[in-house]
A and B are shown apart, each in its own frame.
Chain A
Amino acid sequence: MDLPNVTEQSPPTPALSPSASQQFCAGALILLTLLASLGMSGQPSVEEGGKIRVVTSIPDLADITGRIGGELVSVESLAKGREDPHGVPIKPSFVPKLNQAHVLVVLGLQAEHAWLPALIDVARNRAILPGGSGYIDCAVKIKPKQIPRSLLRREGDVHPLGNPHFNLDPVYMKVIAETIAEGLARVYPAGKPVFQANLKRFHAHLDGKLERWLKMAEPLRGLKFVSYHQDTIYFAERFGLEEVAQIEIRPGIEPTQGHLVWLVDRMKEQKVKLVLREPHFGEQLPNWVAEQTGATVAKFLIMVGGNPDVKTYEDLIEFNLHSILQAVQVRTGQARR
């Protein structure tokens, strides 16, 4: 069927004619050049008398940065202590914080790879890009443990650079504090004496604590345990505990039935009587595993703030030691009965 040719009745009158779009392009180019000539900075600078705005990925680093920076810094952590540090939700409210930050402190070794790069990408702040002046990677002076031999996804969510949970070793926390002090001095050289003095005080303080903790941990030497996620190695090696296996089949991969059967056998064979449960994982599986093997479950925090009363780094280590000691005492008490 023939239809009337309507185009003849109403010839198109383009609103954006070729010349108009050319003008638009030219305008855009001019704008770009202008912006370029204004300097490709896109990064905030510390004002005279103002505070250094620091954003950290996890609360432990916020705690330490606060002590090193003292009055000179204002610190905020993106992750909360009770979260899984590898699975923090990508919230748009983090973007303005990163955008206005002078310094970003990360744990490193790709601990935050699932969420932080996406946020840095859109934060429009050059200073906190990896390699930028305000980017402090706490892992630079760390000797990582558990570096995977092969980078294959069949190994789960492998951390190619090694296990990133080194914040649980107080000795490494001293190294972290040093890295942070150096990083802050890089951003704000005038504050260097303050940072150095605070660092020295913190080191002395932690040394004293460490001595106490090692004494506390003495009865735990050689104690075998199973944890949910592969996040205990630094803590275990520092305090002489022995990590046997994990409930997760691979890092970040939930266990299958077959793995749990294997795990229970392994625990029985090695006489493992302790299951560490990180609070962001469910209670169900650790309890089941403990029930099958006659082991005790102990809460094990991996970050400051994992429990409401754990507010500082010292609290964190003490909480974990107490929790394990308590579990061991409960069990020996039962055995005596």
Chain B
Amino acid sequence: MKVLIGHHFFSRHASPPAKELRGRVRGTAAGLALVMGVVMTQAGATDAAAEPRWFDPVGPVRIDGSVAVDTMRRLQDVRVRVAQVENASRGDEMAQTPVAEPSQQGGKGEGTSPTRKSSSVKGRFPGADVTVEPKDMTGRPGGMPLDVPRELDVGRDDREQAILQRQQVLNRFNPALGLVIEAVGGYTQRRQRRVGGDGVDANGMVGTRFPPNWHANLRTLELFASADVDPYARAYVVVGGHAESVDDRTGSAEFGKAVFHIEEAAIQTTSLPYNLSIRGGRFFGEFGYLARRHSHDLPQIDRPPSLAQLFSEAQVDGVEIAWLAPLPFYLQLSAAYGSRFGEVVEDPLSAFRQHPIQGNTVLGKVTLYHDLNDDNNVEVGLSAAYAPQSRALEGSGVLEGDSIDRHILALDYHYRWYPLGRGLRQSFSLHGEVFHDVGQGRRDVFGNTVRQQAWGGYLYGEYRFSKRWRTGFRFDYHQELTEPALVTNPLTGLTGSTVNQTGNRTDVRTYSPYVTFYPSEFQRFLLQYNRSDHGNASDNHQVLFQWEVVIGSHQHGFTERD
């Protein structure tokens, strides 16, 4: 009796209550019709003498939502009849099971009258396993079934398997899609202006890209799509969007406006020899640690200030080649070339002006990983970026259009304690990064370019004390890249800049405790407090709250590992 091709397939899909079904059917009507087409072609090829032909009573199928619901109802009737027929032929199948299954014994020979609305499994599925009451029939808070009733667990025959596979094949060619929605709100104390500081912006709001006191933002709306291109390549796209906040530097005219930008759009090879892989397009290059993460994916709500004032994200337009050393331990080398480096679109939340490299850049990174034992491991990465000719930084005292060279070094280091038996409930990790930026062009009052350097870095520890809760603390230190004050040489009238009045760089320290709650792996809440000490200005306080969800396809990538 191999004619009943479609039966299990439809029963599996037609079983949810009609209410739920109606909503789903409308969406899947087209797909259903398509599959039915496949099924019917299949059915035609099978033994025509077998009775009953499952699709006979259904009549012509139209691709229409309401008709589809009706069709599904009729299919249910058919299913019941089919089940009766199948039941007759099932006895011997059970006998073949190598071990007697006591659960199967109760159902045979009773309740053959099909009553569709009966909650009894026996009634609807003669011969089905009935000793266990289906779990979703009981009043359970939340309403959704805990478990699938046994009658749906009947094995599929080969033809059914083939149809299911076909159905999957039809979907396989679509890229996997995922969406991230992230809302951020909070309270930010207005920062005091520093008189005479920050060069060109001296009259403006010094570095105050902070939103006003109370605020709520849609910080991220991100669309992710990826698929294999062919046997040699894979491609992925990340389109990001956010709503402009009130006090964004672009002005309040932009307030609330949605801004979309291409975060990543890259092609990646999958089968080069010699352990090589090449990426091209726009992508987050191998550089540092948190710079490779999208802003919603960070362990804290905001980017560490030391990173935010540099380039924020390791976004590159160019190509990258990476090589995995054929050694027993993990060692990866990568090199990239890009026409620019860093985040261009400003994060509405960031309090710091970013200073991406605007010019041809060469990047490189070495990553080394070592397992101390099963539960402890360490990882170190050393990255370098070199841009012989980058456009001058805003506010650096060098005119726009002037070019300077920039070297950035980053050392990232990680320690993780993840006890294998209970890592999902209890673990600890420590991550840190040190940046060194050399070659910030500055012009002194004599018109000479002066080489500058700035240090920065962060260190954070995160402790997971239950499956849902984590808490952490981040410390960040950095020297401001663009704080020198403008001065005029009284003799020549030339304008230049000094480091600042005291001759020291302004340094900023930020202390950020935070706590994260994950109701599930697709949703998280994060509460964070930032206190920053800005050199000669007064302290700044900020409380942020994040609510983030992921819908659709969601894969934990290698880069996003904890």
The reply to whether the CB of A156 lies closer than 8 angstroms to some CB of chain B is yes
Contact A156/B520 with A40-B231, A99-B326, A114-B556 known, Cβ cut-off 8 Å: yes
Say which size band chain B's interface belongs to: 35 or more
Q: Which residues of A contact B89 (CB under 8 A)?
A: none
Q: Which 3 A-B pairs have the closest CB atoms?
A: A15-B388, A143-B155, A92-B369
The reply to whether the CB of B330 lies closer than 8 angstroms to some CB of chain A is yes
The reply to whether the CB of A282 lies closer than 8 angstroms to some CB of chain B is yes
Q: Which residues of B contact A10 (CB under 8 A)?
A: 402, 449
- State which of A121-129, A182-190, A192-200, A328-336 sits at the interface with chain B: A121-129
Q: Which residues of A contact B153 (CB under 8 A)?
A: 144-147
The reply to whether the CB of A311 lies closer than 8 angstroms to some CB of chain B is no
24 contacts between A and B (CB under 8 A): A10-B402, A14-B389, A15-B389, A89-B562, A91-B377, A92-B558, A93-B369, A93-B370, A95-B558, A96-B324, A96-B326, A96-B328, A117-B555, A124-B272, A147-B148, A149-B13, A155-B144, A210-B99, A222-B102, A237-B101, A246-B146, A253-B519, A279-B421, A282-B425
Q: Which residues of B contact A266 (CB under 8 A)?
A: 138
On whether the beta carbons of A259 and B330 are closer than 8 Å, the reply is no
CB distance from B337 to the nearest CB of A (A): 6
Inter-chain CA distance A278–B132, complex, in Å, is 23
Q: Which residues of B contact A144 (CB under 8 A)?
A: 153
The reply to whether the CB of B59 lies closer than 8 angstroms to some CB of chain A is no
The reply to whether the CB of A115 lies closer than 8 angstroms to some CB of chain B is yes
Partner of A83, one of B138, B155, B423: B423
Interface residues in B120-151 by Cβ distance below 8 A to A read 131-132, 135, 138, 140-142, 144-148
CB distance from B134 to the nearest CB of A (A): 11
Contact A35/B146 with A16-B360, A149-B15 known, Cβ cut-off 8 Å: no
On whether the beta carbons of A1 and B327 are closer than 8 Å, the reply is no
Q: Which residues of A contact B424 (CB under 8 A)?
A: 84, 87, 280
Q: Which residue of B lies closest to A158 (CB)?
A: B148
Q: Which residues of A contact B360 (CB under 8 A)?
A: 14-16, 21
Q: Which residues of A contact B25 (CB under 8 A)?
A: none
The reply to whether the CB of B521 lies closer than 8 angstroms to some CB of chain A is yes
On whether the beta carbons of B272 and A40 are closer than 8 Å, the reply is yes
Inter-chain CA distance A84–B520, complex, in Å, is 16
Q: Which residues of B contact A147 (CB under 8 A)?
A: 12, 148, 152-153
Contact A90/B142 with A15-B389, A21-B360 known, Cβ cut-off 8 Å: no
CB distance from A337 to the nearest CB of B (A): 30
Q: Which residues of A contact B522 (CB under 8 A)?
A: 153
On whether the beta carbons of B558 and A121 are closer than 8 Å, the reply is yes
Inter-chain CA distance A242–B131, complex, in Å, is 10
CB distance from A235 to the nearest CB of B (A): 12
- State which of B80-88, B251-259, B274-282, B450-458 sits at the interface with chain A: B274-282
Q: Which residues of B contact A50 (CB under 8 A)?
A: none
The reply to whether the CB of B2 lies closer than 8 angstroms to some CB of chain A is no
Q: Which residue of B lies closest to A11 (CB)?
A: B403
Interface residues in A90-132 by Cβ distance below 8 A to B read 90-93, 95-96, 99-100, 113-115, 117-119, 121-122, 124, 126, 129
On whether the beta carbons of A89 and B557 are closer than 8 Å, the reply is no
On whether the beta carbons of B494 and A80 are closer than 8 Å, the reply is no
Q: Which residues of A contact B324 (CB under 8 A)?
A: 95-96, 99, 122, 124
The reply to whether the CB of B215 lies closer than 8 angstroms to some CB of chain A is no
The reply to whether the CB of A294 lies closer than 8 angstroms to some CB of chain B is no
Q: Which residues of B contact A91 (CB under 8 A)?
A: 369, 371, 377
Contact A214/B99 with A93-B369, A147-B152, A282-B425 known, Cβ cut-off 8 Å: yes
On whether the beta carbons of B326 and A3 are closer than 8 Å, the reply is no
Name B's A-contacting residues (CB within 8 A): 12-13, 15-16, 20, 24, 98-99, 101-103, 131-132, 135, 138, 140-142, 144-148, 152-153, 155-156, 231-232, 270-278, 319, 324-330, 337, 339, 360, 367, 369-371, 374, 377, 379, 388-389, 398-399, 401-403, 416, 418, 420-425, 443, 447, 449, 466-468, 488, 494-495, 519-522, 551, 555-558, 561-562
Contact A82/B558 with A15-B388, A126-B271 known, Cβ cut-off 8 Å: no
The reply to whether the CB of A5 lies closer than 8 angstroms to some CB of chain B is yes
Contact A40/B273 with A9-B447, A15-B360, A149-B152 known, Cβ cut-off 8 Å: yes
Q: Which residue of B lies closest to A95 (CB)?
A: B330
Inter-chain CA distance A108–B34, complex, in Å, is 28
Q: Which residues of A contact B273 (CB under 8 A)?
A: 35, 38-42
Inter-chain CA distance A93–B276, complex, in Å, is 18
Contact A40/B232 with A171-B98, A230-B147 known, Cβ cut-off 8 Å: yes
Q: Which residues of B contact A262 (CB under 8 A)?
A: 140-141
| A 1-41 binary contact with B (CB < 8 Å = 1; else 0) | 10111110110111110000100100010001001101111
Q: Which residues of A contact B562 (CB under 8 A)?
A: 89
On whether the beta carbons of B271 and A89 are closer than 8 Å, the reply is no
Inter-chain CA distance A240–B277, complex, in Å, is 51
On whether the beta carbons of A118 and B558 are closer than 8 Å, the reply is yes
Inter-chain CA distance A91–B420, complex, in Å, is 12
On whether the beta carbons of A7 and B556 are closer than 8 Å, the reply is no
On whether the beta carbons of B447 and A6 are closer than 8 Å, the reply is yes
Q: Which residue of B lies closest to A224 (CB)?
A: B132
CB distance from B22 to the nearest CB of A (A): 14
CB distance from A260 to the nearest CB of B (A): 10
Contact A253/B520 with A89-B562, A149-B148 known, Cβ cut-off 8 Å: yes
The reply to whether the CB of A314 lies closer than 8 angstroms to some CB of chain B is no
Q: Which residues of B contact A153 (CB under 8 A)?
A: 520, 522, 551
CB distance from B456 to the nearest CB of A (A): 26
Interface residues in A143-191 by Cβ distance below 8 A to B read 143-150, 153-157, 171
Q: Which residue of A lies closest to B398 (CB)?
A: A6
On whether the beta carbons of A146 and B146 are closer than 8 Å, the reply is no
On whether the beta carbons of A3 and B495 are closer than 8 Å, the reply is yes
Q: Which residues of B contact A36 (CB under 8 A)?
A: 232
Contact A96/B327 with A40-B271, A147-B152, A262-B140 known, Cβ cut-off 8 Å: yes
Contact A115/B328 with A41-B273, A221-B102 known, Cβ cut-off 8 Å: no
Inter-chain CA distance A14–B387, complex, in Å, is 10
Q: Which residue of A lies closest to B554 (CB)?
A: A153
On whether the beta carbons of B420 and A80 are closer than 8 Å, the reply is yes
Q: Which residues of B contact A90 (CB under 8 A)?
A: 556, 558, 561
Inter-chain CA distance A284–B141, complex, in Å, is 22
Inter-chain CA distance A249–B32, complex, in Å, is 32
On whether the beta carbons of A249 and B420 are closer than 8 Å, the reply is no
On whether the beta carbons of B371 and A93 are closer than 8 Å, the reply is yes
Partner of A7, one of B232, B402, B521: B402
On whether the beta carbons of B558 and A87 are closer than 8 Å, the reply is no
Known: A24-B337, A87-B423. 12 other contacts (CB 8 A): A32-B278, A40-B273, A90-B556, A93-B330, A96-B328, A96-B330, A118-B557, A150-B24, A243-B147, A245-B146, A246-B146, A252-B520
The reply to whether the CB of A49 lies closer than 8 angstroms to some CB of chain B is no
Q: Which residues of A contact B270 (CB under 8 A)?
A: 126, 129
On whether the beta carbons of B551 and A146 are closer than 8 Å, the reply is no
The reply to whether the CB of A238 lies closer than 8 angstroms to some CB of chain B is yes
Q: Which residues of B contact A124 (CB under 8 A)?
A: 271-272, 275-277, 324
On whether the beta carbons of B272 and A157 are closer than 8 Å, the reply is no
| A 207-218 binary contact with B (CB < 8 Å = 1; else 0) | 000100010000
CB distance from B125 to the nearest CB of A (A): 14
The reply to whether the CB of A291 lies closer than 8 angstroms to some CB of chain B is no
